[in-house]
Each structure stands twice: as C-alpha cells, then as structure tokens.
Amino acid sequence: MAELKHAKNIITDTKPLPKEIWEKMQALPKEAATAVKATRLLWLDDDVAKGAFYMEGLWFWEGSQKISMEEPHVHDFDEIIGFIGTNREDPHDLGGEVELWLDDEKHILKKSCLVFIPRGLKHCPLFFRRIDSPIFWFTIGNSSMYSRESKETP
C-alpha cells in the first residue's frame, strides 16, 4: 500500500513539556504535583507539523489545587484557553470550579468557556479548585511555537 501523503498532518500524541515548565514542576512540593489527576493528550506546533501553530490539550480528571502549576506570564502572541465540561445533561456546566487570573483580576469559572488572552495580557495563576467531573482543557496560540515571559504573582 502506498504511503499516504498527508498522514503526517494527523497528530495523535503529545511531545515533552517545555524544559522551563518541567523544571518548575519538579521544584514544586509533591502535594502540588499530585493534587489534580490529569492526562496530557495532544500537542501541536511547528516542530510536530511544519507550518502548524501552537495547540495543546489535556484531560483533568479529579482533584483540587492549593498551589498553582502555572505562574503569571505573558505571550507575544494571542491565546485562547478552553475549559469544556462533560455533563451530557448540561454541557455548559463545567463540572467543577476553576480560578483564573487575568492581569490582577481573579475570575471563577463554573461554565464551559473560551478565554481570549490578547498578546501581552498577564494571565495566571490557574487553580483547579474542584473537579466534580472530567474537564477538557486546551490552549491555542497563533504562534508556531510556545513561548512565554514570567511576570510577578498577584
């Protein structure tokens, strides 16, 4: 059978976390790293598929956080973060509670939503305060690669 020309454009896996994120996770107290059960599912960028923009997807299964894995940061690209609940009876119900900081404003998310983060807007920390049913989380940036600049904590 002939090799399919566009098979490389179908992504079914993730790639390792960026080095700075991996190092930060290793430095956190053990209870922070294990507070929320999650599965890194998919990652796309120019390294994975030439010409692609950045995208990542994770499942958050259960748990809650007192320490954020995400420090405040900015990007030099626009970003969309999605929080999707899995309640078939009410798909708008997030199935938990997420605290997300945008600049110096604390937002409590309880509904499935998309969050638009214009380039340069400081965002995070991010806390999964409660996960009652699985939450699918994704982020998309109109950049070929993920990059960020750390900012101070609120």
Q: What percent of the chain has pLDDT over 70?
A: 92
Of the candidates 139, 138, 82, which has an alpha carbon nearest to the alpha carbon of residue 111?
82
- Is residue 152 in some structural domain? no
Residue 153 pLDDT = 54
Give the structural domain span for 58. 17-143
- Is residue 2 in some structural domain? no
DSSP 30: H
- Is residue 73 in some structural domain? yes
User: In this predicted structure, which of 11-25, 91-105, 136-150 has the lowest mean pLDDT?
Assistant: 11-25
- Is residue 50 in some structural domain? yes
What CATH number is given to the structural domain containing 33? 2.60.120.10
- State the Cα angle at 46 between 16 and 81, rounded to 5°: 70
Instruction: State how many domains the chain has.
Output: 1
- Is residue 81 in some structural domain? yes
